[in-house]
Chain A
Amino acid sequence: MLGGLTKRGTLHRLGAAAALAFIMASGAQAEVQSRGDDGIHLGVASCAGNNCHGATERSEGSSVAQNEYLIWAKSDKHHRAYTVLLEERGMRIARNLGLANAATADMCLGCHTDLVPPAERGPQFQLSDGVGCEACHGGASSWLGIHISGARHSDNLAAGLYPTEQPAARAEKCLSCHIGDPADDNRFVTHRMMGAGHPRMPFELDTYTAVEPAHFVVDQRYIERKGPVNNVQVWAVGQAIDLDKRMGALLEPKRAPKGVFPELVLFDCQSCHHPYNSLRGEGVTTGLAPGSVKLYDANAIMLHVIAARLAPASAKALSSHMLTLQRASGESWATAQAEAHEIRRLASALSPILSSHDFTRDDVKAFADGIVALGLTGEPVRYSEAEQAAMGLASIFSTVKSSGNLSQDQITAMTKAMNGLYGSFASDETYRHDPFVKALKEFRRTAPR
């Protein structure tokens, strides 16, 4: 059980291998703090000392693994977030957007670096570090002193360290780029940017924490200092905040329809982007007619599964507002916004409930059943749903696995089933409903009853 997160990291790496290669390859964004209200950002170099977070092995008595810098520098896309701006794709996107250079454009740097104002950059700060330590953990000037002196975690937090261990705070931080801030033109990927070549941006808090790869280990000391970790909770809170933010984007005046189309990035990519020899939008899960463009709703579907167990009345309301929203999205932006407002209210009310809920074994089972049931209605499961469903099941598997109640055989069988699930939607081009449902049933078969 201890060190479960490491195992879970491994699990994700194994189980999600197929998907990750795809997801990470297509998702080079990052989360940064550019609010400029968290003190001076001292730069990665101030954290990477070999006595601090740049060690190859843990020194005695250290409460962390100390190799955080090495993990980030070696395997983490955040590290390369600035560099990718100068690569072939980055340059092509910039050219298509009429920019001289992505590496000098705030609309790119806003998420591909720790873009704080020059006055808030310390002497060792380098924009080219990409999404470095302080992009997520906050500018260190106010807390580095006590942090180095071995203060308690709560003291670090009190001094200004960002509480990334808290699911809601982490979700806010990650999503500040992984969806972005729709009100900020330098921190929101529009359909124009997608059309210029920016990859699609899937996200799920727990899975993306694991595949970053996480540079923390949930061991006894972690739990003592930061509290226990429940992957299902991270997943659930992530879904609520994700939905909240998506509705926020619908409500943002900057993203209102211009010309004859609304901001298309709010919609489900595969709703349009499929070859027309593979029509898939024939399901009625959204209540929309064939040939309609559908808003991205995979988070809402997941949150509905969660709420159905923990807050049935909210689940019912969510479902009904989502249906109306989908319908309204083709009819009236004002109605769509009214619905988005209601959904946002529901999601933001669920977020604290989920943050404080003690997820039981029965809850986890109910979520697994709820997700699997999505594939068994006879209606086609859309790609975006399949993607969120698989990541949700991966979190559930992590939680079940860290409970220590699974035999090695069960772990092997479930890992194989997870691999199958990820494999079934590895590419949106070749994705088909039937293999996914088959993989879903296989997962159900291997899950402990």
Chain B
Amino acid sequence: MKGEGSVVKLHEIAIATFVTVMLAIAARADPQAQDSESKHLGVKSCSGDNCHGAVKPADHSAVMQNEYLIWSQEADKDRVDKHHRAYAMLSDERGTRIAHNLGLPDAVTAEICLNCHADNVPEARRGPRFEISDGVGCEACHGGAEKWLGVHLSGTGHKANLDAGLYPTEKPVARAEKCLSCHFGDPSDKNRFVTHLIMGAGHPRMGFELDTYTAAEPAHFKVSPKYIERKGPVNDVQVWAVGQAISLVRRMDAILEPKNAPKGIQPELVLFDCQSCHHAVSQIRWQPRKSTGLGPGSLQLYDANAVMLRVVAACVAPTAAKALHEHMLALHHATTINWDTVVREAKEVRRAAIELENSVSGHDFTRDDMKALAEGVIAIGLTDDDTDGSGAEQATMALGSIVSAMRMSGYLSPEQTKVMNDALIGLNKSIADDATYQPATFVTALKDFQKAIPQ
């Protein structure tokens, strides 16, 4: 039951509908490693056919060796790793249009685009085979290879690689930090944060959930016994939970960033829930939400991560769940008062999220936890606590991660897996299109999913 790509496979089936949508609209990536000095040697230094560009694994290889082929889509043309196309798409119709709307001569020479659409390290740190046009290549996530490529090639073990500077993408916290450095961005860096200006110019919305996006990338690793031996076990629920905590911290950072404070009379709109405004005038579906306490006609801050984290906290640290809920309510309310109050409450939420990040990354998620989390996520929808498009999206991805974790842990029979996957497909369909999303359809799918959970 465990192992050999089952995470990937499951997600692949379960989120088929939705991944297409999500990936189609999410083309960012994570370039700048924390290797502030190492040279980036370029994709070509990794893609040798004895290394990560092999068609099939060599005997005794610790990894699949076809990582380059998966990334570059040569392994499977239908499974697109957008990171590979991140640079190229800057010159396609949409990229050109966005650049035009922003008053840029083109997107491929603009830092504001390149910082996430390529591994945009300074010129001095580019090796001879480095190509900016490789988009978000190996070293954008794994770090500049100059210092560790030698050790890595000599096969001395994963720990030695890490010690030499390989980025620990297998660790949920580190992976979350890395992915979010573009998939949410760095609010303090004007060239690494998608503002509402950029959205308004045509940039797509940026949905993200760490575990789902890992699977949907598609992942170029398999959790095999060798993987576990070298890098430790993988629990999708933990990846999900850690991702939620860190996403929330980043979102609070963005609120706290002075650049995003209201200039004149409007704050940075990208901090708010897209569908809070972007629904047709005929699609008014406001209803009271316990999680926000806001009245009709208000814009609400994006809070889907906070809602998910509250579900996690209810399982891992119940008092923290209550505190998080109260701080989030206060934060929402603050938007009806003034920005200073918003900032004050955002600090509280940030602190609560950081505490939870610690509890969550050390927690051993059991079978009972997984069930409780699934019930918690479902309850949010069934009690109308959050059936907004953003909430439904996060809930669906959460349930995908939970099913994956249950399956990986051997808690599901093949029949049960199939039933749950079918239910996930229903959920994904209910959220596939923002423009036609209807809460009632999502809630129905949620009830079907609930029935599919083995008792």
Q: Output the least CB separation between B218 and chain A (Å).
A: 24
Tell me the bound Cα distance from A331 to B263 in angstroms. Answer: 6
Chain A residues with Cβ below 8 Å from B269 are 291, 293
- Interface contacts (Cβ under 8 Å), in number, total 134
Tell me the bound Cα distance from A245 to B91 in angstroms. Answer: 46
Contact A329 B279 (CB under 8 A): no
Contact A272 B278 (CB under 8 A): yes
Chain A residues with Cβ below 8 Å from B282 are 26, 427-429
Chain A residues with Cβ below 8 Å from B263 are 330-331
Per-residue A-contact encoding for B264-292, CB less than 8 Å = 1, 0 else: 11110100001001111110101110000
Majority DSSP secondary structure for residues of B touching A: loop
Given A259-B337, A260-B342, answer yes or no on A274-B278 (Cβ-Cβ < 8 Å). yes
Tell me if A353 is interfacial: C-beta within 8 Å of chain B: no
Tell me if B358 is interfacial: C-beta within 8 Å of chain A: no
* The stretch of B26-34, B197-205, B308-316, B317-325 that contacts the partner chain: B197-205
Chain B residues with Cβ below 8 Å from A329 are 264-265
Contact B338 A259 (CB under 8 A): yes
In the complex, residue of chain A having the shortest beta-carbon distance to the beta carbon of B294: A195
13 interchain pairs, CB-CB under 8 A: A96-B286, A192-B297, A193-B296, A195-B295, A195-B298, A260-B266, A260-B342, A262-B266, A264-B299, A279-B201, A282-B201, A291-B269, A428-B280
Chain B residues with Cβ below 8 Å from A98 are 295
Tell me if B422 is interfacial: C-beta within 8 Å of chain A: no
Tell me if A191 is interfacial: C-beta within 8 Å of chain B: yes
Tell me if A253 is interfacial: C-beta within 8 Å of chain B: no
Tell me if A289 is interfacial: C-beta within 8 Å of chain B: yes
Tell me the bound Cα distance from A434 to B309 in angstroms. Answer: 45
Tell me the bound Cα distance from A192 to B297 in angstroms. Answer: 4
Q: Give B residues with C-beta under 8 Å from A.
A: 101-102, 195-202, 204-205, 262-267, 269, 274, 277-282, 284, 286-288, 295-299, 335-339, 342, 434-435
Per-residue B-contact encoding for A257-294, CB less than 8 Å = 1, 0 else: 11111101000011011111101011000000111110
Chain B residues with Cβ below 8 Å from A259 are 335-338
Given A292-B200, A332-B265, answer yes or no on A260-B335 (Cβ-Cβ < 8 Å). yes
Chain B residues with Cβ below 8 Å from A164 are none
Tell me the bound Cα distance from A200 to B297 in angstroms. Answer: 13
In the complex, residue of chain A having the shortest beta-carbon distance to the beta carbon of B301: A260
User: What 9 new A-B contacts, CB under 8 Å, besides A191-B297, A277-B434?
Assistant: A194-B296, A260-B266, A269-B281, A273-B281, A281-B200, A292-B200, A328-B264, A332-B265, A427-B282
Contact A275 B279 (CB under 8 A): yes
Q: Give A residues with C-beta under 8 Å from B.
A: 26, 96-98, 190-197, 199-200, 257-262, 264, 269-270, 272-277, 279, 281-282, 289-293, 328-333, 336, 427-429
Q: Output the least CB separation between B125 and chain A (Å).
A: 33
In the complex, residue of chain A having the shortest beta-carbon distance to the beta carbon of B103: A289
Contact A291 B201 (CB under 8 A): yes
Chain B residues with Cβ below 8 Å from A273 are 277-281
Contact A195 B296 (CB under 8 A): yes
Contact A282 B101 (CB under 8 A): yes
A26, A262, A264, A291: the one within 8 Å of B195 (CB): A291
